[in-house]
Amino acid sequence: MNKQNIVLIGFMGTGKTSVGKKLAPKLGYRVIDVDLHIESAEKKIISQIFSESGEAYFRELEKKAIREISRQKRVVITTGGGAVLDEENIKALRENGLIVALLASEETIYERVKKSKHRPLLEKEDVKLEIEKLYRERAPLYQTADLKFETDGQTSAQVADKIFNAFKRSNFGGLA
């Protein structure tokens, strides 16, 4: 059976959400952002969930959301940077989805996220150090994706084009 969904994984600031928005219309797909799905279900923004209930609770919500969203067809699913930490998440997403990692150097990530106000994990004194720590832990997990794309120096439209072409070339989605 062809896998129909495209799942974007990657560190914070690799452009998953903006690339997803550009990619979905090219395929005639809907885009579902896991964080937005959680926010509308909880009627709270992510940073509020973290501050009121903690990261572990957020991870439970994330897992539940991923289970639900993975059942849908013909969707581009954009995940939060930490979704890869739980291997059951990736297993669920992979059932019907091609896992695509967006990669970026630590320097690029820092430049892209330094002014961000909505990333609770980066509300630290030393943001660079925190990125370094999380990056070390997570980089190997992003490498397990079916396809990987470097995003340094690229616009989200360019990255979306590359993913679209690779998806068309593959047997995934029945588009080939």
Could you tell me which stretch among 21-29, 74-82, 148-156, 159-167 binds ligand S3P (CB under 6 A)? 74-82
Could you tell me which stretch among 79-87, 97-105, 124-132, 155-163 binds ligand S3P (CB under 6 A)? 79-87
Q: For 142, which DSSP code?
A: H
| For ligand S3P, the closer CB: 89 or 96 | 89
> Shortest approach of ligand S3P to residue 12 CB, angstroms?
4
Could you tell me which stretch among 64-72, 87-95, 119-127, 140-148 binds ligand S3P (CB under 6 A)? 119-127
Q: Is 87 left (phi over 0), alpha (psi -120 to 50) or beta?
A: alpha
The dihedrals phi and psi of 174, each to the nearest 5 degrees, come to 65, 20
User: Among 21, 119, 128, 148, which residue sits at the site for ligand S3P (rule: CB under 6 A)?
Assistant: 119
Tokens representing 91 are: 């297993």
3-state secondary structure of 2: coil
Length of the chain: 176
User: Among 6, 8, 9, 12, which residue sits at the site for ligand S3P (rule: CB under 6 A)?
Assistant: 12
Q: For residue 104, which of 148, 54, 39, 53 has the smallest C-alpha distance?
A: 148
The dihedrals phi and psi of 36, each to the nearest 5 degrees, come to -65, -35
> Shortest approach of ligand S3P to residue 130 CB, angstroms?
11
CB 69, CB 77: distance < 8 Å: yes
Contacts with ligand S3P by CB under 6 A: the residue count is 11
What residue ranges bind ligand S3P (CB under 6 A)? 12, 16-17, 35, 46, 80-82, 119-121
